[in-house]
Structure 1
Amino acid sequence: MCILQVIICFLTLLVRTNCDNQTCTFIGKSGYLEFSQEGYMLEVMFCMPFMSTFARTVIFTIAEINRNPKLLPGITLGYRLYNGCGSENLIRAAIEALNGESCSGQMIGLLGHSSSGISQYINYILSSLSVHLSTCACLSNKKIYPTFFRTVPSDFFQVTGLLELMKYFDWRWVGFVYSLEMYSLEGTETFLKLSKQYSICVEYLIKYTRTKRMDKIVETLKSSTSNVIVLFMGLSYTEDFLSRIEDYSITGKQFIGSESWITQTKLTSAERMSILQGAMGFAIPEATVPGLGDYLLTLNPLEEPQSEIVKGVWADIFGCTFTPSKTSAMCTGSEDLLSIPNNYAAFTDLRTESNVYNAVYSFAYALHSLLQCKNGLNPTTGKACVSQSQVQPKDVKHLHNVNFTTSTGDRVFFDKNGDPASRYDLVNWQIGENGSAEIVNIGVYDTSLPEGANLQVLNSKITWSGGNNKAVRSVCREPCPPGTRKAINKNRPVCCFDCLKCPEGTINSLDCMACPPEFWSNENKVKCISKPTEYLSYKEIMGTLLTIFSCIGVFLSLLVFIIFFTHKETPIVRANNSELSFLLLFSLILCFLCSLTFIGRPSEWSCMLRHTAFGIAFVLCIACVLGKTMLVLLAFRATLPGNNMMRRFGPLQQRLTVVMITSVQVVICTLWLSSNPPIPKKNMKYYKEKIILECAVGSAVGFWAVLGYIGCLALLCFMLAFLARKLPDSFNEAKLITFSMLIFCAVWITFIPAYVSSPGKFTVAVEIFAILASSFGLLICIFVPKCYIIIFRPEQNSKKHVTAKVQTRTS
């Protein structure tokens, strides 16, 4: 920061040992002794043309400390002023302060310059402890500047605040103008480094010099797509830049200023207000030092006639002279400071003066802490006490232990880098009712607040550039629309990204975030919604049709059962064991009914029931058919002479055969259910956009064992029926059983590849179709021809007709 470069430079603290009640006077190239008393003396360096508010703030503060009986009791502070205009004069002043002869004493402290670059030189020259008003973050390096402290925040925090401000208003695409001075160079380097962390890009970087052609700069500003311009320069460079750019029409740009110039209303002119209106930036916080404002206005050469510096300042303010001159009027000393605009009287906010006030108090409290003694030990450090004569420069590092609250309400302390608490006012340039520029506080940036709440902005108080009623947009690329994602373009800054369409199942974010497994992206791909579930339902057409066919099968089976029951004494019903026929009809009813367990939302009980009920019902069905087939073969052989097989395969043996065959399937199903039963499963692999609710078979061995056993029985039954196909048609069912088993085997052989390849609910539909088709095949092939004879050809339902062909065949 350079706003104090020509005003106040040094405050040195001298241990006084031999100035007994004398007034020490020092007049030379660098300054003039203003006041001293017995005790300790402070030296202040200033620039001769301006007896600034900052120098007089030092005088005011020292007087206030001397009146405080609790702070440094019995010790009186004095001060010495030095001229610090320009780097050469400032360095010479530092050497003079170090080697001063009058009121000889040891220098143990330095209130330093506000220019960051010059402050470096001073720290190289002086090994004593120093407190500065410069803001360069580079000076916080304790390895290079071990004695450096300051009462103004480091520019690191100012830059961080600027980036937070840009993030707050979503200004991601900015221009940057800087100058060739350490304050600006260091701030620019920090900004460029930290901007990447905030995803803020710099479109252009202009290095401003007083000799640079403005037409090229203006062309860059006008042709740029960014609408935010950061002016991070010292006051003098900013004033020169604005004076040269005001001749050009720069509109629609939001200027962001650095702390060095953002509160300097002296930059105002009619032409510049069109540029600076709405400008924003961070400033040293406003403060009210009780009594300081009135004291500053007491500056008067009549009351301090011996002070050549006061006369010089007075002459500069009013453009007069205290010596006869042909070009200027004589100064009377009665002129009114408030009657004309001047830099000295423009101290309404006392922003920087409060930091000077705090710096002087920091020295006083550090010395006060250093000289404390209790029981032979310093209560702060726990080390041996230090007497006034033993004070050494290294001892004044007690500034590390300073922690006090001033009359302004500021809490003053220093961190390990010698930096104070970082707090700024966010200010905004506005045009007042009289057309003058006003600096209005519109927020605060405080690093001591919780993260995320450091920046607080009063949006309602903001005046925007160009009189707009809302903030300008300054982005290289607008946010990607819904359903797309950012894609970094390697040939352009990161803020100038491309937008690529997100794939299905993802939502737009930095990398098109994939939805969780049970969710899918909505149509706009802005949020994840639950995937629809799919299963064979009674409500859909396929489920309804299969249910209807199942019910038809049950109805037909019952109808046949009734027909057979009402004609159970007829030869055609009794011909092949009516008991097996009724049991077969019952098993067919179970087959038709078990197909209904495959329809509807899968549950634990339905998954276990559907496969086991189907397996047992079909084995029972085939066992009955197998029994009837064996009965046909044995019955035919019984007609041959000397064959008594029918006696050995009576009704009891037939029942036991059916029970034994079915029991094997029951055992297989029991082992299956007890080891790894079928369970409901959400299949999300076959379809990405929906979930298939199905029954996982659990144990694959159990599943295929059930089907394999059914297949073996069906194949055996088919082979036996095929052997008996040429027996007399009127007597046996072998040919009908052959056709029914042929249909059964064809259906289930076709079922296997269809079951494996069918997706989702179609897998279940294929299984139901196989059950229904094979069941209808058995029902139609075995029972429909007999029902036809019973109902429509009753004359053929006689013992004579049934046995006719048998007799012919045996004869």
Structure 2
Amino acid sequence: MDGDYIIGGIFSIHYYMHTVKHNYTTMPEPPRCTGSMDSRELRFSRAMVFAIEEINNSTELLPGITLGYEIHDSCASVPVAVQVASQFSNGLDPVFYTGDNCSQAGMVMAMVGESGSTPSISMSRILGSFNIAQVSHFATCACLSDKQQYPNFFRTIPSDQFQADALAKLVKHFGWTWIGAVHSDSDYGNNGMASFLQAAQKEGICVEYSESFYRTHPRSRIQRVADVIRRSTAVVVVAFVASGDMRILLQELSHKPPPPRQWIGSESWVTDPDMLRFNFCAGAIGFGIEQSVIPGLREFLLDLSPTEVAASPLLTEFWEDAFNCRLGKSAAIDERVCDGSEDIQTLQRPYTDTSQLRVTNMAYKAVYAIAHAIHNEVCQDTHSTAQCDKFTRIESKQVLTQLKKLNFTKNGYDVSFDANGDPVARYELVNWQKSESGSIEMVTVGHYDASLPDGQEFHINRNLTWVDSDTQVPVSVCSDSCPPGTRKVLQKGKPICCYDCIPCPDGKISNNTDSPDCFSCPKEFWPNTERDTCLPKPVEFLSFDEVLGIILAAFSVGGACLAIITAAVFFRHRSSPIVRANNSELSFLLLFSLTLCFLCSLTFIGAPSDWSCMLRHTAFGITFVLCISCVLGKTMVVLMAFRSTLPGSNVMKWFGPPQQRMTVVSFTFIQVLICAIWLGLSPPFPMKNLTIYKERIILECALGSAVGFWVVLGYIGLLAVFCFVLAVLARKLPDHFNEAKLITFSMLVFCAVWITFIPAYVSSPGKFTVAVEIFAILASSFGMILCIFAPKCYIILFKPEKNTKKHLMNKN
């Protein structure tokens, strides 16, 4: 249609271009389109015509000025698109002027299109040289945002960079980490998939395969892609594919449908109503351009008169294909002739479907954007009306400049371009859901707005239906999530989403799902059985509540009672010869010290404290020295008593009762002094032993100074050995009141116990160290009281006839 200013248009109404083998003997035929018609693209072109007629009838936009148009079919091919671009830039006048002054008066002011990214790139390189603005309604390749390469390119549809980010966030939102990917082998598919894979990698998503194809590829190539989808383990397939390419792939898959696959689609095909016939894709989700309403468009599309149809080859082809008839003289003998009774309103084609106008609105807005740019250049806006001069000759460069500054609203939708020629990215989340009739319909279930802050762009407001009409989100992972208590170990040679779950080692936990590593618990904590949390380590010490502590405490109290009972027996029979003959004063002191020895073992039982730690070791050391000092005194008295019976011997005056008491006090004082120095310099103290057992804490008494402990123990041992030697020397002395043999046995038991104590003490772990020490104390104490006092008590209680001076003095 002619007009004061011409707007160009180009749409991919057909899918293929007729290819001719040139023989270089005849003039090549002009390129022509073949294959089936995309009635959706036809609707786009008709929407452009509708917008221009609407503008021409407007009194606010370009009043008094008529816009014309020239619309071409690109056949979705680069050669045809380049030819059209050349025609637009060379002018519309078919007459070739040979004069020197070339006029650009016939050049288009701007153009709408192309639908595909690859043809748009080719056209932009040509049109950009002539400063002709190109406003695309459907070319989404992110590469076209590069203003250095494509300074004249604008679009009303968002860039694929936004869609790729949105798709990656969508996949991440539903927990899918193992996906397949297919894309068109074109600028649209290659650039879109590259952007998606980059975004997916940032989100931690792994891609099992990434296959590319194009509708003109051999069928074997399409079959190979279909087989990859069938054999894959990924349930989710992200398809960044142009609508025409996707149709070819789905047709191939429909011959032998794959296992259930959750399709995630790019805007190009997921909102194409013609795709809804592929039932095995039910549950597909993807992003679509926001729906819109264009008042009057449906009536315009359906108001096709026979004259208008016959005047347009494209409308003629559409009509004949839709009603399976032939118009006019073109009909063959065996073909049905269109008789005019055909009703276009009965058609179920994308051309007549205006229920979800998405890309159609993008084409509509593109026309209005160009019209506003022309208006701003040739019209002067006053308070209420605009004054336009249709005779103003403007160049396309002026329209290009005005497009960069545009900002207006049409039908409630804002139209503006950023520095890259892109609009604000807003999408609807579309879900293919089965209706009650069994057909598939597109349902808007959410929105995505790239202008919102990070993390708030995504919003779902309706329930989704998944593959196989399931209401549960499908699972698509290479490996199941590792539960807390395990860590991820990557499988060799596979992506990071493929891993094994290894239990955490001893002492370490992981409290998060899919933890890459385990970490150690604090020193005083230990993992639970599941190794997903740290629990306080159980504190262990020899207590009065456990069986071992009760047994040792019973023996300790029993030994003390035995010593007290023995002392009572001795006190009751203190005047008897056997008591008097065995140095009763030292015997009572020995029994008292043995009682303390038995009782001091109780200080080793129970939770260690500062006082109990100091008391247990010092009490043990002092009472044992007191005990051995008494035994040593008794031994020396016996030995010296027999030495003093020799003629001229006066030894016993040095071993009387005062000297015996002094001996005991002196030996004991030395031990008290050693303990005092030990406590003064580095006393024992309670500590938590975390090294013996990893899983529990041992409460024990640290020695403070190991030298002090071993000096105390060594001093006891020295006295014991000295006493043992003296007892051995006196063991064969005559007379029944000689107790040297008994002392010898008691010291033998004592030394044997403490010699075996040392390795047992060093090697015993935890609370058993304390138990060994208590056992040594009790065993040596019982050894002395039984060896020294048991025979005497037996005679006193059961053999009183032997408890006489005559019997004791009997040498036979």
TM-score range, shorter chain: 0.7 to 0.9
Corresponding residue for residue 654 of structure 2: 645
Question: What does 1:443-522 align with in structure 2 at a 5 Å threshold?
Answer: 443-447=446-450, 455-457=458-460, 461-479=463-481, 486-498=488-500, 510=515, 513=518, 516=521
> What letter corresponds to residue 429 of structure 1 in structure 2?
W
1:340 to 327, 347, 369: 347
- Residue of structure 2 equivalent to 1:657: 666
* Alignment CA distance shift 1:226-1:25 (3 Å): closer
Single out whichever of 202-211 and 355-364 deviates more from structure 2: 355-364
Among 248, 252, 266, which residue is 2:260 paired with? Answer: 252
- What is the CA-CA distance between 1:141 and the residue it aligns to? 4.9
- 1:765 aligns with 771
Counterpart for residue 25 of structure 2:
none
- Could you list the per-position Cα deviations for residues 532-584 of structure 1 after superposition, in whole angstroms to 9, with x for gaps in the alignment? 55443444433332222112112111112222333344454455554443333
Matched position secondary structure for 2:271: coil
Tell me the distance in 2 between the aligned counterparts of 1:398 and 1:26.
20
Determine if contact 1:53/1:296 at 8 Å carries over to the other structure. Answer: no
Could you tell me how far apart the structure 2 residues matched to 1:590 and 1:796 are? 31
Q: How many residues are paired up?
A: 734
Normalised TM-score (structure 2): 0.74
Paired position in structure 2 for 1:116: 117
1:299 Cα offset (Å): 6.1
Contact 1:61/1:361 (CA < 8 Å) preserved in 2?
no
2:87 is the counterpart of 1:83: no
**Do the aligned partners of residues 318 and 566 (structure 1) sit closer, same or farther apart at CA in structure 2, a change above 3 Å counting?**
same
- Which of 265, 270, 273 does residue 265 from structure 1 map onto? 273
Moved more, 88-97 or 54-63: 54-63
Give the structure 1 partner of residue 243 of structure 2: 235
Match of 1:3 in 2: none
- Could you give the per-residue CA deviations for residues 482-507 of structure 1, whole angstroms, max 9, x where no partner exists? 98765433255554545556655556
Query: With structure 1 as the length reference, what TM-score do the two structures score?
Result: 0.74
The residue identity in structure 1 corresponding to 2:188 is: Y
Q: Residue 557 of structure 1 corresponds to which residue in structure 2?
A: 563
Give the Cα separation in 1 of the matches to 2:289 and 2:10.
29
1:408 corresponds, among 412, 430, 434, to 412
| Corresponding residue of 1:778 | 784
Contact 1:66 / 1:77 at 8 angstroms: preserved in 2?
Answer: no
Distance in structure 2 (CA, Å) of the matches to 1:642 and 1:216 = 122
Give the direction of change, closer, same or farther, for the CA distance of 1:558–1:97 in structure 2 (3 Å limit). farther
Look up the match of 1:440. Answer: 443
Q: Residues 180-213 of structure 1: CA distance to partner in whole angstroms, max 9, x if unpaired?
A: 2111122333444454454544444443344222
Q: C-alpha distance in 1, partners of 2:636/2:399?
A: 120
Inter-CA distance 533–361: structure 2 relative to 1 (3 Å threshold): farther
- 1:212 maps to what in 2? 219
2:285 counterpart of 1:280: yes
Whole-Å separation in 2 of the counterparts to 1:418 and 1:700: 84
* Aligned equivalent of 1:428: 431
- Rounded to whole Å, the distance in 2 between the matches of 1:352 and 1:84 is 18
Instruction: Specify which of 161, 166, 170 is matched with residue 171 of structure 2.
Output: 166
Residues 758, 484 of structure 1: alpha-carbon distance in 2 compared, 3 angstrom cutoff: same
Tell me if structure 2 keeps the 8 A contact 1:179–1:208. yes
Letter in 1 for 2:71: N
Report the 3-state secondary structure (helix = DSSP H, G, I; strand = E; otherwise coil) of the residue aligned with 1:461: coil
CA contact (8 A) 1:82 1:93 kept: no
2:180 aligned with 1:175:
yes
Deviation of the 1:236 alpha carbon:
1.0
Q: Deviations over 1:690-712 (max 9, x none)?
A: 44444443443333333233333
The letter of the residue matching 1:552 is: G
In structure 2, relative to structure 1, the CA distance for the partners of 1:147 and 1:570 (3 Å cut) is farther
Give the Å deviation of 1:654. 4.0
SS at match of 1:463: coil
SS in 2 for 1:260: helix
Helix, strand or coil: the match of 1:545? helix
What is the CA–CA distance in structure 2 between the aligned matches of 1:603 and 1:746, rounded to whole Å? 31
Using the TM superposition, give the Cα deviation of residue 616 of structure 1 relative to its aligned residue in structure 2, in angstroms. Answer: 3.2
Q: Is the 8 A contact 1:251 1:466 kept in 2?
A: no
> 1:624 aligns to what?
630
Unaligned runs of at least 5 residues, structure 1: 1-21, 32-46, 69-73, 371-387
Q: Which amino acid aligns with 1:52?
A: S
**Equivalent residues of 1:24, 1:102 under 8 A apart:** no
Map 1:579-618 → 2, pairs under 5 A: 579-618=585-624
- Matched with 1:24 is 4
Shift of 1:797: 4.7
Q: 1:57 to 1:199 in 2, by over 3 A?
A: farther
Distance 2:8 2:167 in 1: 43
Partners of 1:583 and 1:369 in 2: CA distance: 123
Structure 1 letter corresponding to 2:798? F
Deviations 1:420-457 (A, max 9, x none): 55443221112334454310123334455666665444
1:349 corresponds to which of 356, 360, 378: 356
For residues 603 and 66 of structure 2, what CA distance do their matches in structure 1 show?
103
- The 1:753/1:646 distance shift into structure 2, 3 A limit, reads closer
State the shift of 1:234 in Å: 0.4
Distance 1:765 1:57 in 2: 101
Cα contact 1:49–1:316 (8 A) shared by 2: no
1:678 aligns with 2:685: yes
2:748 to 729, 734, 742: 742
Pair 362,784 (structure 1): closer, same or farther in 2 beyond 3 Å:
farther
Q: Could you tell me how far 1:770 is from its partner in structure 2?
A: 1.0
Q: Is the 8 A contact 1:406 1:412 kept in 2?
A: no
1:572-598 deviations in Å (ceiling 9; x for gaps): 445555444333323322222232233
Residues 485 and 511, structure 1, Cα contact 8 Å, conserved in 2: yes
- For 2:288 and 2:313, locate their aligned partners in 1 and report how far apart those are by CA, in whole Å: 30
C-alpha separation in 2, matches of 1:314 and 1:558: 125
The 8 Å contact of residues 256 and 279 in structure 1, kept in 2 or not, is answered as yes
The offset of 1:754, in angstroms, is: 1.2
Identity level (%): 44
CA–CA separation in structure 1 for the residues paired with 2:657 and 2:567: 28
How far apart are 1:262 and its partner, in Å? 0.1
Decide whether the 8 Å contact of 1:281 with 1:426 is kept in 2: yes
Instruction: Identify if the C-alpha distance between structure 1 residues 131 and 562 changes in structure 2 by more than 3 Å, giving closer, same or farther.
Output: farther
Query: In the aligned structure 1, how far is the partner of 2:241 from the partner of 2:163?
Result: 13
Where 1:230 maps in the other structure, the secondary structure is strand
Deviation for aligned residue 1:281? 1.6
Residue by residue over 1:121-175, the C-alpha shift from the partner in whole angstroms, topping out at 9 and shown as x without a partner, is: 3454427687655322334456655776655443334334334433444444433
Quickly say closer, same or farther: Cα 1:154–1:638, change in 2 above 3 A.
Answer: farther
Q: In structure 2, what residue type is equivalent to 1:551?
A: V
The 5-angstrom pairing of residues 186-197 of structure 1 reads: 186-197=191-202
C-alpha distance 467-50 of structure 1, shift in aligned 2 (>3 A): closer
8 Å CA contact 2:433, 2:465 repeated in 1: yes
Conserved 8 A contact 2:164-2:196: yes
- Cα distance in 2 for partners of 1:417, 1:569 equals 122
Q: Deviations over 1:727-770 (max 9, x none)?
A: 44545544333322222222112111112222333322222211
Q: 1:247 to 1:727 in 2, by over 3 A?
A: same
TM-aligned CA deviation for residue 772 of structure 1: 1.0
Question: Structure 1 residues 608, 408: CA separation in 2 closer, same or farther (over 3 Å shift)?
Answer: farther
Distance 1:245 1:596, change over 3 A: same
Question: Hey, what does 1:135 align to over in structure 2?
Answer: 140
Residue 52 of structure 1 aligns to a residue whose secondary structure is: helix
Instruction: Tell me the secondary structure at the aligned position of residue 558 of structure 1.
Output: helix
Seen in structure 2, the aligned counterparts of structure 1 residues 106 and 90 have a Cα distance that, compared at 3 Å, is: closer
CA contact (8 A) 1:173 1:474 kept: yes
